[in-house]
Amino acid sequence: MEVNVHHAKTHLSKLIAAVESGEEVIISRAGKPAVKLVVVTPPVRKSRKHLLGSGIGKIWMADDAFSPETDLEVQKLFEADDALLDIQPGRSARRRKKTA
């Protein structure tokens, strides 16, 4: 079916229903075909099931990664870095010179 722009504006809902039922609709401007209405098919959603467990065997963690000894080592590293910062109320942190 071919319709002009004015008819398409007035009867858009009916034209959409016609296209959805398989009919071809062409909208003309000044007697010349301008556009064709087509049905948009929604993209197929992939199942997310295949994503679960996809990192198995790709990530490795040391056996002692969460041990109390490791926690103390990390804490000491942070405390050592904090000692290098000169923090005063109302001012931003400044680096102190290392004295060794």
What is the Cα Rg of the chain in Å?
A: 34
Q: According to the per-residue pLDDT averaged within each range, which of 47-56, 61-70, 74-83, 86-95 is highest?
A: 61-70
What's the average model confidence in pLDDT over 17-40? 93
pLDDT of residue 94: 56
Torsions phi, psi of 74, nearest 5? -65, -40
**Distance between CA atoms of residues 87 and 44, nearest Å:** 56
- Residue 91 is given by DSSP the state S
The domain spans of the chain are 2-37
Q: Tell which wins on pLDDT, 90 or 73.
A: 73
Q: Tell which wins on pLDDT, 8 or 98.
A: 8
Q: Of 13, 9, 8, 12, whose CA–CA distance to 27 is shortest?
A: 8
The predicted model scores a pTM of: 0.43
pLDDT of residue 43: 82
